[in-house]
Structure 1
Amino acid sequence: MSGAQPESEIRDVDWYGEDLSGREHTAVRFAAVDLTEATGEGVVFTDCVFVDCRFTAATFTDAAFLNCSFTGCSFSQARFTACKVVGSRFSRCTFDLLDVDGGDWSFVLMPGADLSRVTVAGTRMREADLTGARAAGATLRGLDLSAAELSGIDLRGADLRVQRPERPRPAGRRAGRGPDRRHPGGRARHHPGVGRRPRSPGLAGSAGYWAPISADRRRQERPACPSRPPRSTPT
């Protein structure tokens, strides 16, 4: 944290299932606040202190927790997608089934944290302090751990593959192509004139059948060339 002291306090508030999208809090102390199943898209917390707060099954997207402090908080089954948690400190917190997808968690302080049942994928964690963290069996895929402090960390049985987990392809899309432009019934959409040979006056059949034209008819329809005047011979 930056060392800024909280300027206000929110205590014993029930934000169960609350939508926090778009809110901003700076230098606020949150004590015993229930954020179970809360959601927040674009919510920003800066220099805030969280003590004994519950983030159980909460979902945050494009949110920011900048230079915050978390003490005795529960993040069980919480999900953070593309969030910034830069410079935050975690002490005596629980992370059972925490899911972190992308985002920037650089400079976080999580020494001794129990991360054995977390899933973190494609996240930047540069210079993070994970000293003595218990991450046996955790899923830690595609992370940027440049200059991170990993001394004493337990990674037995952890999934440390570089590739991120394969995500199911959204319905209506084909590999290597754009959207599958089909009707809901699955039939290909017809575009008039696309993929068909245009009709020509030289082809018989009003219904579009490709019946050949006889050579006599072609000669009849071919315009006659104008005759040239005879050349004058010099006398």
Structure 2
Amino acid sequence: MAPTPRELGAGPSMGPRAHVAPPEDGTEVEGADFARVDWWGAELEGVTFTRCRFDDASLEELVTRRCVFDGCVLTGVRLGGSRHTGTAFLSCRFDRARLIDVTWDGCKLTGSQFPGAQLRPMTAIDCDWSYTALRGADLSGLDLAGQRFREADFTDADLRECDLTGANLDRARLQSTKLRGADLRGASMDEVNWRAFELTGVRIDLVQSVQFARAHGALVAD
């Protein structure tokens, strides 16, 4: 039987805490409040958190393997230097989160939102960012090659000098996105609004150049 938030030492009635022991491997936790918890350097494997809160938690150097954070709130969380392998953050909120030097390896972040979050520098390898809200995010200079951003919202985001070669950007929203110096060659960009952003200084391939031309009314011969 999964432990309750009270058994884990978490809950809205506890107030400020310095340390609460992390759950054991394979544990399922639902509805727990881990606000201000201190799990610096902890290692979690196979743990599932559903609708939990980690407001202002100290999770620096945290290591997760094949964990799931489903519908969790991580407002103001500090995750600097943490490493996540095969972990899923599904429809989570990272408001004002400090995600400096985070490594995401084979992670799913689908449907998550990052308002005001610090996302760079970071390392992301073979991750799925589909349906994420990255409005206004600073992702400049990051290597995001081959990753999935299907229907992601990059409105007003900074993607300058980003490597997005081979990425999936189908239906991504790029309204007023900064892209100067970015490399989009080989990226899938079906149903992208090519009129919504500036292409000056952006590297694109032949297929993308045709899509851009057609979006601007050109008649491209087959």
TM-score range, shorter chain: 0.5 to 0.7
Residues 1:100 and 2:100 are matched in the alignment = no
Residues 1:110 and 2:134 are matched in the alignment = yes
Residue 52 of structure 1, CA deviation:
0.6
Q: Determine if contact 1:95/1:117 at 8 Å carries over to the other structure.
A: no
Residue 84 of structure 1 corresponds to which residue in structure 2?
108
Residues 1:33 and 2:46 are matched in the alignment = no
Residues 1:154 and 2:178 are matched in the alignment = yes
Q: Give the SS at the match of 1:148.
A: coil
1:76-225 equivalences in 2 (<5 Å): 76-162=100-186
Residue 34 of structure 1, CA deviation:
1.3
Q: Give the SS at the match of 1:100.
A: strand
Q: Determine if contact 1:95/1:118 at 8 Å carries over to the other structure.
A: no
Q: Distance in 2 between matches of 1:36 and 1:161?
A: 35
Structure 1 residues 28-69: Cα deviation after superposition (integer angstroms, max 9, x where no partner) = 011111111111110100010001111111111110001111
Residue 100 of structure 1, CA deviation:
1.1
Residue 70 of structure 1 corresponds to which residue in structure 2?
94
Residue 9 of structure 2 corresponds to which residue in structure 1?
none
Q: 1:10 aligns with which of 34, 56, 65?
A: 34
Q: Which has the larger radius of gyration?
A: 1
Residue 220 of structure 1 corresponds to which residue in structure 2?
none
Residues 1:42 and 2:66 are matched in the alignment = yes
Aligned-partner residue type, residue 133 of structure 2: L
Q: Determine if contact 1:123/1:144 at 8 Å carries over to the other structure.
A: yes
Aligned-partner residue type, residue 146 of structure 1: D
- The structure where strand makes up a greater share of residues is 1
Residue 79 of structure 1, CA deviation:
0.9
Change (3 A) 1:141 1:56: farther
Superposed CA RMSD in Å reads 1.6
Q: Determine if contact 1:135/1:154 at 8 Å carries over to the other structure.
A: yes
Residues 1:19 and 2:43 are matched in the alignment = yes
Residues 1:58 and 2:58 are matched in the alignment = no
Q: Distance in 1 between matches of 2:61 and 2:165?
A: 26
Q: Which TM-score applies when normalising by structure 2?
A: 0.68
Q: How many percent identity over aligned positions?
A: 35
Aligned residues: 158
Q: Distance in 1 between matches of 2:116 and 2:149?
A: 20
Q: Distance in 1 between matches of 2:120 and 2:152?
A: 20
Residue 13 of structure 1, CA deviation:
1.2
Residue 105 of structure 1, CA deviation:
1.1
Q: Distance in 1 between matches of 2:161 and 2:147?
A: 18
Which segments of 5 or more consecutive residues in structure 1 lack a partner in the other structure? 1-5, 164-235
Q: Give the SS at the match of 1:121.
A: coil
Residue 226 of structure 1 corresponds to which residue in structure 2?
none
Q: Distance in 1 between matches of 2:125 and 2:85?
A: 10
